[in-house]
Amino acid sequence: MVVARRLGVDEPLDTRPRYPLKFDRTENMAGEMREFEIRRGSAAVGQRIMDLKLPADALILLIRRGQRFLVPKGQTQIESGDTLLVLAEGDLL
C-alpha cells in the first residue's frame, strides 16, 4: 500500500483495463502488477513521476490517458484521470 499512499489513492482498481502488453507472472518473479486510477484531488495530480517519491522497487510501466497509452519517463506529469500500471512487490502495492 506504499505506492497507493504516495499516489494519494485509496486502493488498486477492481476492474482491469485492457493494456497493449501482456504480463505473465512466473514462480521466480516476486513482483505484481496493479492499476491505480488518479482521481481529481489526488496528491499525484500535477507531479512528475520523478517527484512522486515512489519506492525504488516500484516501477510505473504504462499510463493510460483517455484512449492513449503513454510510456512514462521521469519528466512525465501525472494528470487527473490517468490510470497507472505499476509493477512492484506485493507489500509495496
pLDDT digits (tens, 9 = 90+) for 39-88: 999 999 999 999 998 988 899 999 999 989 999 999 999 999 999 999 88
CA distance 45 to 27: 35
Give all strands (DSSP E) within 1-93, no chain letters. Answer: 31-37, 59-65, 68-70, 83-89
Length of the chain in terms of residues written: 93
11 falls in which pLDDT band (50, 70, 90)? low
Q: Are 61 and 14 in contact (CB under 8 A)?
A: no
Full-model pTM: 0.72
Indicate the SS3 state at residue 51. Answer: helix
The residue written with cell numbers 512528475 in the block is 48
